[in-house]
Structure 1
């Protein structure tokens, strides 16, 4: 048999097109043995291959340039069956571009939930009816399971344009649809269109837009021929597909059968409510284990002790089974009911209760569990992280600290030593194995929620923190992958004027690249077991991270990594007379002390400063770093709690003195290269420079922070983000708020990573986004877990609210003092009608549209305050999900809004 491959692609000089595949004639997947194609008329490339192989095979096209670099087309391999009935097969394909925005429709949420098919429809073809067949193929994932693609055309075999005679197509190779049509020389050329057929209505419900498609003239000989004519896009007349979702942390869910905190089983109730209201995405915060200190401080969900393990707090106890001791079970049930009645999460109380239950349950069932096939399968599937996590958890509790540097001989542990440590023959094995038991049930419960959501056409959207916790399994076992002497954070922004210090070590990307980012790939694969969409927290960190040396506390004294520091020669070329002591050491003068400390200036001068020259001061050695200052005042606060506010004020003011610098010496530069300090214009040091020097420093500052690194950071991101995208089929969303480099939007668009459009935090100079201005590949929202809710924000600044009321909502007159339900309705409605693929709303903002259902205390609905590193994450939604499900009036109202916003379409 002869196969002729034809593909359209406009190449550049030096590029050649190849076809490769699983058949031996196409190189068995080895690109070095691929078949080189020949340029033909127009932009077509052709190759004719004699085939001895029969049966199914796969193939795809790729480019190779003069340097040998290869560029492959997007998506899964094309499928074809070589049928002995035909003497020739002619394959007419279109190149599948890597960066088409429609590629996002081939990710997990679409294939596993939104457009998941039921049982495939396969149509039999009577090959005896003709010697020649045309196979029309269409790649179209965007279609609900109650619908079928079909084709109508000018020939009799395609219904002669009669839609009642439309020919249904097979979805056995979904998302590729196909139908084989007997043909002859008399029937070509012909015109046709693809249509959508509804099984419920028994008719064609949508014709594609645009001009008719055209099947060209072919020459038919006595030899039997199959012509496979492939198309890549259905021309939807209704525009881009969009949907809506709800955002709420799992811990904030409330149900009647809970134990004082939301649990994985509660996700099913949230899915039920989503189905009732037309929402298709459930967005949650990270759910990994954060148990470090066994205190409420562990409530911070972005400080996981493992990037794989799930948090025990989310386990539903009833699903794990009752205890045999009815009296003890009754005590646990009673305490669970008490905790569940609380308005907020009592983190320590809930963890104490669940830890007690886990211990008792494992004592009863552990022996049988460890012998079960279910456990052995779970262990085998998670062996790459589970023993490490269990050993870490045991050692954390044994030593009373997660700081593994305090674990003596266990501070470091080789793989062989760890294997011995977790051996079932060890005396402490039961204390190891209980963590296997807990993780097994957590995994089971979350996977059940995931499967249930997908079956209902709903997906879970996870959240991946930008950093890892300093005292975590990953830092303990793989310290070479992290810069442990640094801290990740963010430069000053609307959340914090002194920047943010998250305390996480930064990534050693160079080391990670040595094994092709194996740690990241494993992490992504594990996430994909639970989530079909995920949000990258602070995606800017993949371009460059704000890195703070360990001796500093505030984010002001950080620097970008990677960066291109300014060499001394460049400073001189710019006319800056660089004086290291004046520019790089804290600039502290006597008048500043009195300005900042007022009546306490003399106290500060005596205790914390020394005068090295008349009127010039330096911090004394015990206070010459922010880390030393923090340690000193932590002790003062502990010893004298009543003076806490005063001591914190003095501490923060000393931090300010310490940050009175204009340039920071670049690492490993030996005093030859420097980074400008972020926000240096707000310092006394800058204010007291001469005018000419100020102007030159300004020019350098603007160039450094807004121009110098654009291409450099793009290259940095493109070494990492394609890896992250290619590891799984999850849809990726990026939290790209803050100080956004110019290269970010282009990279995200190229990789089909959805951006985040928060109306109150636009990524440009506007005060607010208008939802109508958001791009398609974006997630639009009224807020995030780091912000006040819509109702609370409305009351923060009446002048700002007034501008929003007039400019964005288009209302006349004075804005209402409170965010009335009708105001919330207008805001939500604008977002629903926006172009964004996803419109996802905090549940508090959705309920704000109903005056009877919403909380009486909006100030208690905020989830996090980023400016407070000791924030207690304890918010609980004020309604049980069971009760919300029964609110038919509101649910119908929300469903109608979503329908009217065009976010509930089946295709």
Structure 2
């Protein structure tokens, strides 16, 4: 039996194609020993044959690779491995008529779980169509094989053509393909006239009415006659379906789980509440529900834990989302009465009162655990969950119990014997004397997992994608740092450089990643993390995806973000700086530049007392330096924490003084590299510093050129390579649809890498990627992107509208098109509607709206105070994450007029249909 590979491909000079696969003749996945294909220029086809054993069945797995001798490139085709099965005596020849699966094609993302498991899910146990699957012995068979995920759940793919076996162009006799291997559609048929050229097209088949809804666009496809041995199997692994209706587009809604409000909730959103949000999405034609991170953040048992991006485990779910009612009824009548009273009290509040809610949840979780313990531990479903998730579940249970036993999540403060996870197995034994201390966390995680998966399956069954959120960092006092500290640089801090949200940058205080160590095991930690997220989500937002190219790394002695630098980076040696600007003086360039007139401007009448307490004259004329006990921001922070503790009545004054001293510490022009002596990074926003302004004009010009070159040219190829190394293992660890939050100071190489990997970018109207543009326009967004009027880190559209009247007027005229008109004082419902419509008509694959911005279109439903709608204030490091929807989801689902309006807008924009 012979197996022939054929692939149409027009190569350039120096390029050639090979096929690599599971057989020895295909190199057994060793690319150096792959099978070379021969080029037939008259047909533009690459081909080659191999022999298969005639006396045994088997399967050949393979892929095509484009080799480029000019640049040494080895370009594997996109997608999973191809596969063809064969049996002895069935055929004398198998001809594979393949098409090159190009990477970086927008249609590739339709093969992700968002489409295959939710939007275009296939009905369970669908009967196979009554079409020929074999042919008479000795005849030739054509196997039509088309990969097409974009098919409505109620529809099928068919093929219609000129041969009688393909209906002879009679649409009622089309050959219907099977979706048993969806998203690949397959049917086999013996052509009535294999000696003749046949023409055909694929179509969308409506099985209920037995008719073709759409035939694909473009020219007919052809089946050319083949001579040679018979019987013959021709596998027509065709190129993608050519939709006549343009690319698929959808719309979604974004709301954190904690912000969900339902009548059955206990003061905070719970996983079962997602079903109500899905019901509302279905009623309005929305196809996606996006949430914020849902991992456990319980480190202090205070409101500080409300911050969802500081998880104590990147695998465990947050107990606040647990529905107690969904576990079992409380048998204690007093407890039942108490929980109902608390439900009424908490649900009457217009915000999430985090600490009382969590205290109540812990109390009743522990009661339920004791009540259900025997049944729970004997449950085969729990035992399977425990075994499957053992790698993170047992350490998490041990960490959580030890956190509570010792009163801190900072494991460096625990007794010596517990500072490493060596005792995890012993501590979490079911027959151990203190098992309940740990068992309650097994109990909680098991039911959280069960409730979330049930909600997500509900969404999938209703054709709605649930999109999760992956924080870029890990919390310093977390299970992850406790169990695998070698994966992180614990002495460093991750953050973000200054932007519109925070002029001094953001310091998240997370350790940075040790990428070199992670690479040693093929990024196993990242793959496990992604696999756990894929258990719950079909789409994922990667927070601060720029961190895979370079992260803003801040030294441990800094509180603010200005004294950080990008890592990895190519710092400047002292000699290079001297060459570029003409001189190098450590004291002037690297030490804080402080002068008396600066103290007067910052501290006004307090300048002399501030100088006396915290500063001293330097060794040269006019220079001032901070005393040794306040040389760093972290030292200053500790000093003022003590002052505030001793004199809380003057807290505002102390904070004002502290901020002024922070400013002085930031007055440097270069930041030393922590890895290499005599290497330096220019301080971010260097031209805005007082130190820069007081240089001579000649030096300022040279330093400005150095600064621009360093941040905007020097690193482009270096960072591109970083992204190409780190992102693929994360991107391809699962089949989730991946979206990257790529806002802020974006290297020019980032969009190209994201496109090559099929990662959708984010387009926020108020944060355009082009720094020369004040407002982005959704109409210019690329297809592989998400457009949105805002995010959880921003004020809502209504709140933003009132922040800057001049900016709002420019937006009203130039972006919404109301030239010469006066913008309304407030964001009226009709204005919010125009902004929504503008986003819906974008060419982007997704338009996703914060629910607050959709409700802004209805004067009756929206919240009265627009400033109470903002979820996070990034400039405030002590922000309390307490936003809660002011409407019960049950009431939102019954708001028929509003829902019909949203549904009509979505439908009219073309975002509610499959084709």
Relative to structure 1, is the Cα distance of residues 575 and 679 closer, same or farther in structure 2, using a 3 angstrom cutoff? closer
SS in 1 for 2:136: helix
CA drift at 1:185: 5.7
Distance in 1 (CA, whole Å) between partners of 2:443 and 2:321 is 14
| 2:77 alignment partner, one of 67, 73, 76 | 73
CA drift at 1:518: 1.0
Distance in 1 (CA, whole Å) between partners of 2:565 and 2:666 is 13
- 2:117 maps to 1:112: yes
- 2:9 maps to 1:2: no
| 1:756 alignment partner, one of 762, 765, 773 | 762
Moved more, 198-207 or 511-520: 198-207
Is there any run of 5+ residues in structure 2 with no aligned partner, and where? Answer: none
- 2:64 maps to 1:61: yes
Contact 1:106/1:141 (8 A) holds in 2 = yes
- 2:444 maps to 1:438: yes
CA drift at 1:70: 4.9
Distance in 2 (CA, whole Å) between partners of 1:595 and 1:82 is 83
SS in 2 for 1:849: coil
SS in 2 for 1:527: helix
SS in 2 for 1:134: strand
Deviations 1:9-51 (A, max 9, x none): 3456665533344567656656576544333335422221222
Please show how residues 497-646 of structure 1 align to structure 2 within 5 Å: 497-612=503-618, 613-646=620-653
SS in 2 for 1:718: helix
Relative to structure 1, is the Cα distance of residues 410 and 786 closer, same or farther in structure 2, using a 3 angstrom cutoff? farther
Deviations 1:368-399 (A, max 9, x none): 32232122101101101011111111111111
| 1:723 alignment partner, one of 707, 719, 729 | 729
Name the counterpart of 2:309. Answer: 302
Deviations 1:223-259 (A, max 9, x none): 2222222212111111110101000000000001110
| 1:85 alignment partner, one of 72, 85, 90 | 90
Deviations 1:727-782 (A, max 9, x none): 11111101111111111111111111000000111111211111101110001001
Contact 1:536/1:734 (8 A) holds in 2 = yes
| 1:270 alignment partner, one of 261, 273, 277 | 277
| 2:160 alignment partner, one of 126, 149, 152 | 152
Name the counterpart of 1:363. Answer: 370
Contact 2:314/2:529 (8 A) holds in 1 = yes
Contact 2:593/2:668 (8 A) holds in 1 = yes
| 2:665 alignment partner, one of 636, 658, 668 | 658
Contact 2:164/2:191 (8 A) holds in 1 = no
Distance in 2 (CA, whole Å) between partners of 1:414 and 1:273 is 45
Name the counterpart of 1:40. Answer: 40
SS in 2 for 1:485: strand
SS in 2 for 1:890: helix
Moved more, 595-604 or 111-120: 111-120
Name the counterpart of 2:842. Answer: 834
Contact 2:172/2:210 (8 A) holds in 1 = no
SS in 2 for 1:205: strand
Distance in 1 (CA, whole Å) between partners of 2:115 and 2:547 is 28
Please show how residues 409-420 of structure 1 align to structure 2 within 5 Å: 409-415=416-422, 417-420=423-426
Contact 2:292/2:469 (8 A) holds in 1 = yes
| 2:470 alignment partner, one of 464, 482, 499 | 464
| 2:222 alignment partner, one of 214, 227, 230 | 214
Contact 2:134/2:188 (8 A) holds in 1 = no
CA drift at 1:333: 2.1
Deviations 1:63-114 (A, max 9, x none): 4567997543221222333253322221111121222221111111111011
Distance in 2 (CA, whole Å) between partners of 1:893 and 1:200 is 30
Distance in 2 (CA, whole Å) between partners of 1:574 and 1:33 is 50
Distance in 2 (CA, whole Å) between partners of 1:380 and 1:653 is 54
Deviations 1:566-603 (A, max 9, x none): 11222232243111111000111112111221111111
Distance in 1 (CA, whole Å) between partners of 2:482 and 2:740 is 28
SS in 1 for 2:624: strand
Distance in 2 (CA, whole Å) between partners of 1:504 and 1:167 is 58
Moved more, 380-389 or 155-164: 155-164
CA drift at 1:638: 2.2
SS in 2 for 1:535: strand
- 2:139 maps to 1:131: yes
CA drift at 1:137: 2.5
CA drift at 1:184: 5.9
CA drift at 1:630: 0.7
- 2:817 maps to 1:810: yes
Contact 1:129/1:182 (8 A) holds in 2 = no
Tell me how many residue pairs correspond in the alignment.
904
Deviations 1:193-233 (A, max 9, x none): 21112224432111211122222243366x22222222121
Distance in 2 (CA, whole Å) between partners of 1:85 and 1:620 is 88
Distance in 2 (CA, whole Å) between partners of 1:568 and 1:871 is 40
Distance in 1 (CA, whole Å) between partners of 2:366 and 2:183 is 48
TM-score, normalised relative to structure 1: 0.97
CA drift at 1:160: 3.0
Distance in 2 (CA, whole Å) between partners of 1:411 and 1:15 is 59
Name the counterpart of 2:358. Answer: 351
Distance in 2 (CA, whole Å) between partners of 1:274 and 1:23 is 49
| 2:782 alignment partner, one of 775, 794, 813 | 775
Name the counterpart of 1:901. Answer: 909
Distance in 1 (CA, whole Å) between partners of 2:894 and 2:675 is 63
Deviations 1:113-137 (A, max 9, x none): 1111122524333512872232332
SS in 2 for 1:385: helix
Name the counterpart of 2:489. Answer: 483
Contact 2:267/2:353 (8 A) holds in 1 = yes
Contact 2:160/2:201 (8 A) holds in 1 = yes
- 2:96 maps to 1:96: no
Relative to structure 1, is the Cα distance of residues 687 and 167 closer, same or farther in structure 2, using a 3 angstrom cutoff? same
Contact 2:395/2:421 (8 A) holds in 1 = no
Contact 2:299/2:312 (8 A) holds in 1 = yes
Deviations 1:613-670 (A, max 9, x none): 4422100111111001011112222222221111111111111111111011112322
RMSD of aligned alpha carbons: 1.9
Contact 1:8/1:44 (8 A) holds in 2 = yes
Distance in 2 (CA, whole Å) between partners of 1:846 and 1:257 is 24
Distance in 1 (CA, whole Å) between partners of 2:162 and 2:431 is 76
Distance in 1 (CA, whole Å) between partners of 2:518 and 2:729 is 12
Please show how residues 312-331 of structure 1 align to structure 2 within 5 Å: 312-331=319-338
SS in 2 for 1:810: coil
Relative to structure 1, is the Cα distance of residues 161 and 185 closer, same or farther in structure 2, using a 3 angstrom cutoff? closer
Distance in 1 (CA, whole Å) between partners of 2:4 and 2:622 is 87
Name the counterpart of 2:19. Answer: 19
Distance in 1 (CA, whole Å) between partners of 2:191 and 2:168 is 14
Relative to structure 1, is the Cα distance of residues 716 and 20 closer, same or farther in structure 2, using a 3 angstrom cutoff? closer
Distance in 2 (CA, whole Å) between partners of 1:860 and 1:407 is 40
Distance in 1 (CA, whole Å) between partners of 2:194 and 2:159 is 19
Contact 1:773/1:834 (8 A) holds in 2 = yes
SS in 1 for 2:510: coil
Deviations 1:847-885 (A, max 9, x none): 111111111111111100000011011111011011111
Moved more, 116-125 or 353-362: 116-125
Contact 1:159/1:166 (8 A) holds in 2 = yes
CA drift at 1:807: 1.1
Is there any run of 5+ residues in structure 1 with no aligned partner, and where? Answer: none
SS in 2 for 1:7: strand
TM-score, normalised relative to structure 2: 0.96
Deviations 1:470-501 (A, max 9, x none): 11111111111111111111111000011111
Name the counterpart of 2:699. Answer: 693
